[in-house]
């Protein structure tokens, strides 16, 4: 695993504009950064990223099964009790799911350590599946990178393939896509996802989360009062559970992507539970709920994470009584979990976080986010990667 600097393509900003990738720079900060790339060997990718991702995914499904069977475990997720049935039914039906992303700390040697799983609303999808891919093609064509350079990135192919499969079971249905207003990044992600669905032949629609209506027949509706029977939402389940329409959720006869059972996997309570079930697993870090947090070694460092936190909000890293890093945000009322601190590797003062993308239950792609802080947040730079050797 190397970090190499590289010449940005002269036309990349033009290309970004043409493809609608308008959030390559956010709040005046570079987000897409192709002045560097990371290089891996095929063995590193297959043994250390791909295989563990598939295994961790199986472990998580096993965990969901267990949690759905057990009220006491369900209690740990801070999910309103009225919504448990919705989650359980969606799991017992095995409602199909679409995608997710594991975040790993990995330095090229030894096992990748799972920091968390984003399985409900992962973003940076377009950058990973499309723009990163184009970067490698262009770099190879321009002779900047050797012809045999590869990338762990079948994300778009896998998404379209999976949409085709879903299409077979929902022939006549229109799949609505939804995200909140006023966020270019979320809209870009949703539009890209919708492009893939359309490529697979699905009928699609769009409605902002805030515009969704509820009619007399207990159906959600778009702005033209058309009932919605199938929806992809880039909006967290835990928010839906406390929104005004929450009481209606369990009576809706509709399919969701991601399905309600993903509310379990996207919750940080999985981290201590995984450690309980598979203590000592090479890809897991010790993690506990607050009553057992004394089992962690304070000298080695502890990371405190809210159950619902996203994009690195409200995270606190302490070591031997000192705060190494912390981030602000609005999470934390729901409770915290505590994970053993495992520093991200340091490459010239940059801390890369490995994202391993799952489509259905297959590991299909990798993306890297880099920050100059130990906590990766929504503005951390997206760095492309190659496989060589």
Binder of another protein out of 37, 38, 126, 338 (CB under 8 A): 126
For 80, the token pair is 């309103």
- Cα separation of 36 and 8, whole Å? 8
Binder of another protein out of 41, 183, 250, 318 (CB under 8 A): 183
Torsion of CA 156, 158, 162, 165, to 10 degrees: 110
**Residue 371 burial by Cβ neighbours in a 10 Å radius (0-12, 13-18, 19+):** middle
Alpha-carbon 384 to chain mean position:
17
Binder of another protein out of 60, 302, 354, 387 (CB under 8 A): 387
What residues from 295 to 324 belong to the interface with another protein (CB under 8 A)?
A: 310-312
Place of tokens 């990044």: 185
Beta carbons of 24 and 55 less than 8 angstroms apart: no
Is residue 150 a contact residue for another protein (CB under 8 A)?
yes
Question: What is the nearest approach in angstroms of another protein to the Cβ of residue 223?
Answer: 8
The nearer residue to another protein, 182 or 348, going by C-beta atoms, is 182
Question: What is the nearest approach in angstroms of another protein to the Cβ of residue 45?
Answer: 7
What residues from 73 to 102 belong to the interface with another protein (CB under 8 A)?
A: 101
Terminal alpha carbon distance of the chain:
11
Handedness of CA 323, 30, 49, 307 (dihedral sign): positive
The nearer residue to another protein, 268 or 304, going by C-beta atoms, is 268
Question: What is the nearest approach in angstroms of another protein to the Cβ of residue 60?
Answer: 16
- Cα separation of 295 and 254, whole Å? 44
Question: What is the nearest approach in angstroms of another protein to the Cβ of residue 121?
Answer: 5
The nearer residue to another protein, 33 or 120, going by C-beta atoms, is 120
For 269, the token pair is 């309570």
Size of the site for another protein (CB under 8 A): 77
What residues from 32 to 51 belong to the interface with another protein (CB under 8 A)?
A: 42, 45
Question: What is the nearest approach in angstroms of another protein to the Cβ of residue 291?
Answer: 27
What residues from 6 to 25 belong to the interface with another protein (CB under 8 A)?
A: 17-21
Encode burial over 251-271: b for 16+ CB neighbours within 10 A, e otherwise. ebeebbbbbbbbbbbbbbbbb
Nearest to 107 by CA among 389, 344, 377, 282: 344
DSSP designation for 247:
G
Binder of another protein out of 330, 346, 361, 389 (CB under 8 A): 330
Nearest to 356 by CA among 65, 161, 152: 152
Torsion of CA 118, 275, 68, 330, to 10 degrees: -40
What residues from 186 to 215 belong to the interface with another protein (CB under 8 A)?
A: 186, 188-189, 191-192, 194-196, 198-199, 205-206, 208-215
The nearer residue to another protein, 63 or 196, going by C-beta atoms, is 196
The nearer residue to another protein, 134 or 170, going by C-beta atoms, is 134
Question: What is the nearest approach in angstroms of another protein to the Cβ of residue 345?
Answer: 21
How many other CB atoms sit within 10 Å of the CB of residue 33? 19
The nearer residue to another protein, 69 or 137, going by C-beta atoms, is 137
Question: What is the nearest approach in angstroms of another protein to the Cβ of residue 69?
Answer: 28
Pairing of strands 230-233, 174-178: parallel
What residues from 215 to 254 belong to the interface with another protein (CB under 8 A)?
A: 215-217, 219, 221, 225-227, 234-236, 238-240, 242-245, 248
What residues from 340 to 379 belong to the interface with another protein (CB under 8 A)?
A: 378
């Amino acid at each position: 695993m190397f970090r190499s600097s590289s010449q940005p393509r002269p036309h990349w900003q033009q290309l970004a504009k043409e493809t609608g990738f308008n959030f390559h720079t956010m709040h005046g900060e570079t987000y897409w950064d192709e002045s560097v790339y990371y290089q891996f060997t095929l063995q590193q990718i297959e043994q250390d990223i791909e295989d563990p991702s598939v295994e961790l995914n199986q472990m998580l499904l096993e965990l969901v099964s267990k949690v759905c069977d057990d009220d006491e475990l369900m209690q740990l997720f801070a999910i309103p009790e009225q919504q448990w049935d919705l989650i359980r039914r969606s799991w017992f039906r095995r409602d199909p799911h679409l995608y997710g992303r594991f975040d790993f700390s990995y330095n090229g040697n030894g096992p990748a350590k799972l920091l968390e799983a984003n399985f409900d609303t992962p973003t940076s999808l377009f950058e990973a599946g499309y723009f990163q891919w184009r970067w490698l093609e262009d770099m190879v064509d321009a002779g900047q990178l050797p012809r045999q350079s590869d990338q762990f990135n079948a994300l778009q192919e896998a998404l379209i393939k999976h949409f085709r499969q879903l299409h077979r079971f929902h022939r006549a249905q229109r799949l609505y896509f939804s995200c909140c207003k006023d966020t270019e990044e979320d809209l870009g992600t949703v539009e890209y996802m919708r492009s893939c669905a359309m490529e697979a032949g699905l009928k699609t629609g769009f409605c902002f989360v805030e515009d969704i209506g509820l009619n007399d027949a207990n159906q959600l509706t778009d702005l033209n009062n058309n009932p919605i029977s199938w929806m992809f939402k880039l909006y967290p389940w835990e928010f839906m559970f406390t929104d005004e329409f929450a009481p209606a959720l369990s009576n809706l006869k509709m399919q969701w992507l991601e399905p309600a059972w993903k509310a379990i996997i996207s919750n940080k309570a999985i981290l201590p539970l995984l450690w309980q079930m598979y203590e000592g697993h090479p890809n897991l870090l010790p993690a506990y709920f607050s009553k057992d947090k004394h089992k962690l070694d304070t000298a080695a460092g502890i990371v405190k994470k809210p159950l619902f936190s996203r994009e690195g909000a409200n995270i606190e890293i302490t070591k031997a009584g000192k705060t190494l890093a912390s981030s602000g945000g609005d999470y934390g009322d729901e409770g915290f979990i505590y994970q053993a601190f495992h520093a991200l590797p340091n490459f010239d003062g940059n801390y890369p976080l490995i994202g391993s993308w799952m489509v259905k239950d297959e590991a299909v792609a990798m993306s890297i986010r880099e920050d100059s802080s130990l906590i990766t947040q929504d503005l951390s730079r997206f760095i492309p990667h190659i496989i060589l050797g």
